[in-house]
Amino acid sequence: MQIGDKSNEKTAIPALLDTLDVRSSVVTIAAIACQPSLVAHVVEAGADYVIALKKNAKTLYERAHDHLLARAPHLPAHLSRTLEHGCGEVRRVCISQDMGLLDACAGWAGLRTLVFVETERHTARGCTRSQRLYLSSLADPDPGTYARLVRGHWAIENHLHWQLDFTFREDRSRLRKGNAALNANILRKTALYLLAQDPRPISFKRKRKQAAYDNDYLRQLLQKA
């Protein structure tokens, strides 16, 4: 959904949710949605949520951080390791479902689980560490569930937005007049969807070039629309 000139994500997210049937789904949103009213909107729509907790929610963030950090060694945890593109990551996800210890949780609809994600990123330049907190209405006791949901959310950034910029150079587009930028965005996403239908393990950039030079290949992609 395109955000209006005099609006922002906080007003666009509820409007978008109203157009979707999210019942029995899990809604994941970045920290921009870390507002009690938005969380309540998700719950009223019949969905669960996993939402990043930002530092702007100062009281809850500080208390949740201290609560989780002090108990992290004894909480249920999920550990995963990945090595790709010359970068290694170690992620530890632990959860706490003892909401009674945090009075700051009051006012957050359906909140049942606090999620603590610690990441170590190893590159040729050295090691960096980060910590992130999430709120969730899920009561699942398996920390692996939350690890998959958090990673799945950021896959949208990696598989969609990054591809739009890297493969189609969207960030360099100079389209500004009327609906040109929106129309071009729709076409790029359509093209990206079609390229994804080709299961060959080659880059989207190479597939796009082949579609430009090979009419038979282009026809195959368009028939999958």
Domain of residue 126, CATH code: 2.20.130.10
Say if 132 falls within a structural domain.
yes
- The alpha carbon dihedral of 24, 113, 116, 43 has a sign of positive
Name the percent of the chain lying above pLDDT 90: 36
* Extended strands (E) in the chain: 26-29, 48-53, 77-84, 87-96, 113-123, 126-136
Share of the chain above pLDDT 70, in %: 95
Q: Which amino acid does the sequence have at 55?
A: K
Q: What is the pTM of this model?
A: 0.76
Question: 90: domain range?
Answer: 9-165
**Same domain assignment for residues 184 and 115:** no
Say whether both 42 and 142 belong to one domain: yes
- Domain annotation covers residue 2: no
- Which amino acid is it at 17? L
Averaged pLDDT, 200-206: 89
